[in-house]
Structure formats: structure tokens, C-alpha cells
Amino acid sequence: MLEQAIEIDRRMPVVVVTRCLNMKCYVDAMHSGALDYLEGPQASVEIARLIETHSRPHGAAASV
């Protein structure tokens, strides 16, 4: 799915979410262009952080 998304739009940020960490899958995903690779139940918190971080204009400071 990651490869297909990147073929459609290389600039589209893609996050891989999985139930268990697999280092080979992690390395493959990151080398293929994934923005991040998240594992486990805490993934929803990390997804929110990624959306916030990458939706800000470049150079904008994070809200504290």
C-alpha cells in the first residue's frame, strides 16, 4: 500500500501503523519513503502529534 501511495503522489505523507514492531518492515517502510512507522496502542497519540507537526507551515513554532 505504501508503494502505491507514493506512486500516486510522492509528496503525500504516509504513516505505517502496526500492532507489533517488525524491524525488517520498519526499515523497508522508512527506505520506501514512509514519514513514520508507529507500533502498538499508543499509535493514535503519535498520529495526532504527526498531523500537528506536519500541518504547520515550515518554520512555524509549536504551540506550548
- Mean pLDDT across the chain: 82
Work out the average pLDDT over 33-60. 79
What is the distance between the terminal CA atoms of the chain, rounded to a whole angstrom? 35
Closest CA relative to residue 1, chosen from 40, 39, 45, 32: 32
User: What percent of the chain is modeled with pLDDT above 70?
Assistant: 88
Question: Does the structure show a pLDDT above 80 at 39?
Answer: yes
pTM for the model = 0.67
Give the highest mean pLDDT range of 2-6, 23-27, 46-50, 57-61.
Answer: 23-27
